[in-house]
Amino acid sequence: MASRTDRYNKSKKINTKKKEKHKVKIKYKKVIIFLIVLILIVFLALSFFKLKITNIYISGNSLLSEKEIINIAQVSNYPNTFLNLSPIIESRLEKNIYIKDAKVYKKWFTILYIKVEENRPIFYNDSSKETVLLDGSTVKEKLEAPLLINLIPDTLYEKFVQKISEIDEDVLNRVSEIKYDKNDVDETRFLFTMKDGNYVYLTLNTFEKINNYINIVKSFNNAKGILYLDSGEYFQKFEN
């Protein structure tokens, strides 16, 4: 007959086996839920990285059309937003000679904002048949800009380009023609013919004064005449 100790040990072994069997039992319900959640996460992640650009907003352009900028940026077909990161689009834009600087950012990953600073034309050199742009580069295309009608000495030309690039755009747009017009007093003298019928004399050292042109003309009740900004600042009205 089995002793009490043997019966106890036998009972303990049986209970241990039951517990072991209970531990290895697979909880299918939790596994299924886990797999569903995992599949859902993978699906959402894949969908997220397939997002495309949906809207494009452009500002700062006048020389280039919105369509041209979109084509330069290579986003005309509203491509994948993650394959067209903002720095990549900026690099594409700034490779174009007519774009001096570009800032690109996105909202909600799919709304694209492009702000450009154009490398606008500052004058057309009639001697070389080239348009000079804001950064000093040139293009053969004749763009709307003041017309430089004669030659400037090589020793002065580079400084002339620099100085005219510093003139405010709204003032430069009022200039029709530029003539190198030295005299016995100053060999860096220029004559600007304005679209409103006025004339302005300047030297390379006084170019920045023309940025006050609009206010100066208003102070003379919009009369027509010659504005001398090469030495001093006075206005000679045309005789009627």
In a domain, 219, yes or no: yes
In a domain, 46, yes or no: no
> For residue 221, what pLDDT band results from cuts at 50, 70 and 90?
confident
Strands 225-228 and 199-203 turn out to be parallel
What is the rounded distance in angstroms from the CA atom of residue 225 to the CA atom of residue 73? 47
This prediction has a pTM of 0.79
Last residue of a domain, one of 71, 97, 118: 118
Give the CA angle between residues 52, 54, 59 to the nearest 5°.
Answer: 125
In a domain, 3, yes or no: no
**pLDDT tens by residue, 225-240:** 999 999 888 899 988 6
**pLDDT tens by residue, 49-75:** 778 999 999 999 999 999 999 999 999
Please report the beta strands in 16-87, taking only residues with DSSP state E, as ranges in sequence order: 55-59
Last residue of a domain, one of 93, 118, 143: 118
| pLDDT of 8 strictly over 70 | no
**pLDDT tens by residue, 62-116:** 999 999 999 999 999 999 999 999 999 999 999 999 999 999 999 999 999 999 9
CATH code of the domain in which 107 resides = 3.10.20.310
Q: Over 123-152, what HEC string results?
A: EEECCCCEEEECCCCEECCCCCCCEECCCC
In a domain, 200, yes or no: yes
**Backbone angle region of 157, left / alpha / beta, with phi > 0 → left and psi within -120 to 50 → alpha:** alpha
